[in-house]
């Protein structure tokens, strides 16, 4: 076997490519997905995965003229600039990179390149929405693609490209980015200086040697690589560290892809690349490749990224299009499928008979747990599984350990999938702060609804409930809730990243504008205000709210200069679960008295704003306080509100976030308007049932909410002007 061959290459790559070609039908939300809304917007995940999908098919040996890639080029060639996209952000960079590979002559390429060049900052680095060093490296890569396809059109001179390629090698990069910088330097300036060769090529070699043969692995996780070398890596180890494992494999694939073209000039890197490729290849290669990789990466987003980057790195490793190696495999596989014995039809009938033989039912009717603002529902169930041999005798009932009661969450497939995807993307450091979201247990394709069975947090109460029924933990809640929330906000670690342009509009201004129109359309279109003065007041209130939102658009850049944080996005007292813990004997207070879990991850963002969470929670606690009418001196809500406010005041000061308090007011306004919009759902239900009285009461309620929101918006505008 030559150094650039791999065992079972034909079958392994063949099965991966076949599965990748099926991805469009199996995962339409990630590959060439339809728009998410009427404006034609698609998810950033879909753009990224589809870009990797096209690169993998090109590496396999497809030309850009093949149907799959022509359709992808059409999908990427959206007009630019547009109402939604005026700057080049990571989504637009993925589109641009894909178009330069598939259809560089597209009329939307040049405007994107021109806008990218305008996002070069005063210090010559590029601003795309991430770290300046990586953004600049990515920009150089794309400009180099444009040069190679002869569409750079003088936007950046070749001398400038070469200069920047040289400079970017000397920037402190992550492993995979250093490999890309070395590749670009090699491509644009023919060779590395001896100093760069020793310092940077040898640096990658040393990292691999110290990390057990891989790249992208944190210092404290080297046991992952060591266990892989010994063939002792277990599914539990990967499950516990799946995100780290994924980043290690993706980084390693990128290094192989970018360094293999440099092997002839720098042969000392070849044994290291070969070792890394073989270590990863031996984990999954062979007839069960698809099942193995799906077990390692059950999240479709992760799985598709890994498959795509693996195919690209294998293409670089073997030095020729993969279709040259596996073309005949498909012919043989097709022939075998035509002659393979078909499983007797009775076997499937026996399976169905076995399922019908076991009696599964509900011991009692499902118990609704909450009715939130989303379209999902949550119920508690008590499963009943009868022994088929003694169906009438309850003493023979089959018990599943730890499953006397379970929780079922169900709703639109898109909502459930979004929550699962968000859970999969949680930083490992804070994953234990959230309730585990497994794969759907059942999907009703006809009604487009997914059902997920989860563990029942029956030992927990909602924060709302605990503030009424568990006085023993009032003090602990005030002391411990704030630090718990800050741990969530710090989920990605202490490194401070600043907001990308447009985030304020996405998080605050656009939702408020939509909710305001929804609230007042409900009132006006249904003619729920007969009194002319009340109607006049409603119209004036709507104009005032929209006017304040318009004022904030003018202050958008001023408000967007803040450090981003992990954000729950729907933080209220029904989404915070609490459980009283018993302190260990002899504990001096280092351990908490309350265990917290967050539920409902549909709105979670790794790059969000902690001020929005703070504003939502404070509004919710204020509403609870007002409705429960406690003695102010002994009101746990008031104490908790004060503690939360102090927590976030200290948080803002520590991060030097000068506009945090303003944005927290804005978050309160947004939350109140959202609550008003949620109330209109109840009013619309009353109207459908021909009960106009309750619908009118809802109209007056939402007007009160709108007035409260206006108070907060006035405070925000006054603070800025």
In this structure, are residues 538 and 701 in contact, taking their beta carbons and an 8 Å threshold? Answer: no
Give the end of a domain, one of 438, 455, 472.
455
Residue, of 420 and 148, whose pLDDT is higher: 148
Residue 562 and residue 645 share a domain: yes
Residue, of 328 and 139, whose pLDDT is higher: 139
Query: Is residue 503 pLDDT above 50, yes or no?
Result: yes
Residue 410 and residue 519 share a domain: no
Which range has the worst mean pLDDT, 102-111, 152-161, 316-325, 339-348? 339-348
What's the number of domains the chain is made of? 3
Residue 440 and residue 296 share a domain: no
Residue 473 and residue 440 share a domain: no
Domain contains 312: yes
For residue 220, what pLDDT is reported?
66
Specify burial of residue 669 (Cβ count, 10 A radius: 0-12, 13-18, 19+).
Answer: buried
Give the end of a domain, one of 305, 338, 371.
338
For residue 1, what pLDDT is reported?
34
Query: Is residue 583 pLDDT above 70, yes or no?
Result: no
Residue 413 and residue 286 share a domain: no
One-letter-per-residue 3-state SS of 487-548: HHHCCCCCCCCECCCCHHHHHHHHHHHHHHHHHHHHHHHCCCCCCHHHHHHHHHHHHHHHHH
Query: Is residue 420 pLDDT above 70, yes or no?
Result: yes
Residue 563 and residue 478 share a domain: yes
For residue 317, what pLDDT is reported?
94
Give the mean model confidence (pLDDT) for residues 455-478: 88
DSSP string, 310-343: HHHHHHHHHTS-THHHHHHHHHHHHHHHHHSPPP
pLDDT, averaged across the chain: 85
For residue 337, what pLDDT is reported?
57
How far apart CA 658 and CA 664 sit, in angstroms, is 11
User: Which residues, 6+ apart, have CB-to-CB distance to 498 below 8 Å?
Assistant: 561, 562, 563, 564
Residue 598 and residue 564 share a domain: yes
Domain contains 186: yes
* 237-268 pLDDT per residue, tens: 676 678 888 899 999 999 999 999 999 888 99
pTM of the complete model: 0.53
* 28-45 pLDDT per residue, tens: 989 999 887 667 788 889
Domain contains 348: no
Question: CATH number for the domain including 422?
Answer: 3.30.200
Confidence of residue 715 (pLDDT cuts 50, 70, 90): very high
Give the mean model confidence (pLDDT) for residues 594-616: 90
DSSP string, 111-126: HHHHHHHHTB-TTS-B
Q: Is residue 32 helix, strand or coil?
A: coil
Residue 250 and residue 150 share a domain: yes
| 489 to 49, 277, 614, 652, 657: CA distances (angstroms) | 27, 37, 11, 12, 14
Domain contains 225: yes
Residue 526 and residue 385 share a domain: no
For residue 179, what pLDDT is reported?
93
Confidence of residue 520 (pLDDT cuts 50, 70, 90): very high
| 468 to 369, 473, 478, 625: CA distances (angstroms) | 17, 11, 14, 11
How far apart CA 708 and CA 544 sit, in angstroms, is 12
Residue 391 and residue 333 share a domain: no
Residue ranges of the alpha helices (H) in 107-192? 109-118, 132-148, 158-169, 175-189
Give the mean model confidence (pLDDT) for residues 446-458: 79
Query: What b/e string do you get for 66-81 counting C-beta neighbours within 10 Å, with b at 16 or more?
Result: eebbeebbebbbbebe
Domain contains 596: yes
Domain contains 519: yes
Give the mean model confidence (pLDDT) for residues 456-480: 89
For residue 37, what pLDDT is reported?
66
Strand 442-444 to 449-455 pairing: antiparallel
Query: Is residue 601 pLDDT above 80, yes or no?
Result: yes
For residue 425, what pLDDT is reported?
76
Among 65, 64, 72, 78, smallest CA distance to 109 is for 78
Residue 465 and residue 449 share a domain: no
Q: How many CB atoms lie within 10 A of CB 132?
A: 15
* 648-698 pLDDT per residue, tens: 999 999 998 999 999 999 999 999 999 999 899 888 888 888 888 889 999
Query: Is residue 525 pLDDT above 70, yes or no?
Result: yes
Q: Which residues pair with 578 in a beta bridge?
A: 461, 596
Q: To the nearest whole percent, how much of the chain has pLDDT over 70?
A: 87
Give the end of a domain, one of 338, 365, 388.
338
For residue 497, what pLDDT is reported?
66
Confidence of residue 4 (pLDDT cuts 50, 70, 90): low
Give the mean model confidence (pLDDT) for residues 356-369: 79
How far apart CA 476 and CA 466 sit, in angstroms, is 11
Query: Is residue 536 pLDDT above 80, yes or no?
Result: yes
Question: CATH number for the domain including 515?
Answer: 3.90.1200
Domain contains 1: no
Which helix (H) or strand (E) is 559 found in, with range?
A: helix 556-559
* 192-208 pLDDT per residue, tens: 567 766 788 999 999 99
Domain containing 677 equals 461-720
Domain contains 4: no
Strand 576-580 to 565-567 pairing: unpaired
DSSP string, 216-264: S--GGGHHHHHHHHHT---HHHHHHTHHHHHHHHHHHHHHHHHHGGGTT
For residue 372, what pLDDT is reported?
46
Query: Is residue 5 pLDDT above 90, yes or no?
Result: no
Residue 155 and residue 110 share a domain: yes
Q: To the nearest whole percent, how much of the chain has pLDDT over 90?
A: 44
Which helix (H) or strand (E) is 368 found in, with range?
A: strand 367-370
Sheet with strand 594-598: strands edge to edge? 461-462, 576-580, 594-598
Backbone angles phi, psi at 673, to 5 degrees: -65, -35
Q: Tokens at residue 697, please?
A: 């009461």
* 89-126 pLDDT per residue, tens: 999 999 999 999 999 999 999 999 999 999 998 878 89
User: Which residues, 6+ apart, have CB-to-CB distance to 380 below 8 Å?
Assistant: 366, 367, 369, 405, 406, 407, 408, 456, 458
Query: Is residue 273 pLDDT above 90, yes or no?
Result: yes
Q: First-to-last CA distance in the chain?
A: 73
Question: CATH number for the domain including 37?
Answer: 1.50.10
């Amino acid at each position: 076997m030559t150094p650039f061959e791999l065992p079972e290459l034909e079958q392994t790559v063949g099965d991966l490519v076949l599965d990748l070609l099926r991805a469009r039908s199996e995962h339409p939300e990630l590959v060439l997905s339809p728009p998410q809304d009427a404006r034609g917007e698609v998810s950033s995940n879909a753009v990224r995965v589809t870009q990797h999908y096209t690169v993998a098919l090109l590496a396999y040996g497809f030309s850009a003229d093949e149907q799959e890639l022509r359709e992808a080029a059409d999908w990427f060639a959206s007009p630019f600039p547009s109402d939604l996209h005026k700057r080049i952000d990571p989504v637009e960079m993925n589109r641009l990179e894909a178009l330069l590979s598939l259809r560089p002559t597209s009329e939307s390429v040049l405007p994107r390149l021109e806008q990218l060049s305008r996002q070069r900052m005063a210090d010559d680095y590029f601003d795309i929405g991430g770290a300046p060093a990586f953004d600049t490296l990515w920009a150089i890569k794309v400009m180099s693609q444009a040069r190679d396809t002869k569409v750079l059109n003088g936007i950046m001179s070749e001398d400038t490209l070469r200069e920047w390629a040289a400079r970017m090698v000397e920037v402190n990069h992550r492993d995979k980015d250093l490999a890309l910088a070395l590749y670009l330097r090699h491509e644009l300036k023919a060779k590395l200086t001896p100093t760069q060769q020793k310092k940077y090529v040898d640096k990658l070699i040393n990292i691999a040697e110290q990390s057990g043969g891989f790249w992208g692995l944190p210092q404290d996780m080297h046991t992952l690589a060591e266990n892989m070398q010994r063939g002792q890596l277990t599914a539990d180890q990967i499950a516990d560290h799946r995100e780290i494992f994924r980043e290690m494999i993706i980084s390693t694939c990128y290094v192989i892809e970018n360094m293999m073209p440099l092997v002839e000039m720098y042969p000392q890197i070849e044994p290291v690349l070969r070792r890394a490729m073989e270590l990863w290849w031996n984990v999954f290669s062979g007839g069960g490749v698809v099942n193995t990789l799906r077990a390692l990466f059950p999240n479709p987003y992760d799985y598709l990224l890994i498959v795509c980057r693996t195919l690209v790195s294998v293409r670089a490793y073997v030095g020729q299009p993969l279709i040259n190696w596996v073309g005949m495999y498909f012919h043989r596989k097709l022939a075998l499928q035509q002659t393979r014995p078909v499983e007797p039809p009775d076997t499937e009938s026996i399976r169905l008979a076995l399922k019908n033989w076991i009696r599964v039912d509900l011991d009692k009717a499902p118990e609704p747990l909450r009715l939130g603002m989303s379209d999902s529902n949550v119920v508690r169930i008590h499963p009943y599984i009868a022994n088929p041999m003694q169906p009438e005798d309850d003493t023979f009932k089959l018990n599943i350990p730890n499953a006397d009661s379970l929780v079922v969450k169900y709703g639109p497939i898109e909502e459930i999938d979004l929550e699962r995807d968000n859970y999969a993307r949680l930083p490992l450091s804070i994953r234990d702060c959230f309730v585990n979201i497994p794969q759907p247990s059942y999907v009703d394709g006809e009604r487009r609804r997914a059902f997920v069975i989860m563990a029942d947090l029956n030992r927990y109460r909602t924060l709302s409930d605990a503030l009424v029924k568990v006085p023993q933990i009032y003090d602990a809640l005030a002391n411990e809730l704030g630090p718990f929330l800050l741990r969530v906000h710090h989920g990605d670690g202490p490194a401070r990243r600043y907001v990308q342009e447009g985030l304020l509009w996405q998080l605050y201004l656009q939702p408020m504008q939509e909710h305001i129109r929804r609230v007042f359309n409900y009132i006006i279109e249904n003619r729920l205000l007969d009194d002319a003065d009340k109607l006049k007041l409603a119209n004036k209130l709507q104009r005032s709210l929209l006017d304040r939102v318009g004022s904030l658009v003018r202050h958008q850049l001023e408000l967007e200069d803040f450090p981003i944080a992990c954000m729950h996005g729907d933080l209220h007292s029904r989404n915070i679960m609490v459980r009283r813990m018993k302190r260990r004997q002899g504990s001096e207070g280092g351990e908490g008295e309350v265990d917290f879990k967050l539920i409902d991850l549909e709105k979670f963002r790794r790059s969000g704003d902690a001020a929005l969470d703070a504003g939502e929670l404070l509004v919710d606690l204020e509403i609870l306080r007002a409705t429960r009418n406690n003695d102010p001196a002994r009101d746990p809500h008031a104490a908790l509100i004060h503690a939360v406010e102090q927590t976030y005041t200290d948080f803002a000061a520590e991060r030097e976030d000068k506009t945090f308090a303003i944005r927290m007011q804005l978050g309160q306004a947004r939350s109140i308007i959202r609550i008003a919009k949620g109330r209109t759902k109840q009013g619309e239900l009353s109207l459908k049932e021909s009960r106009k009285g309750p619908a009118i009461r809802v109209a007056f309620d939402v007007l009160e909410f709108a007035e409260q929101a206006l108070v907060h918006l006035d405070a925000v505008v006054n603070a800025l002007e």
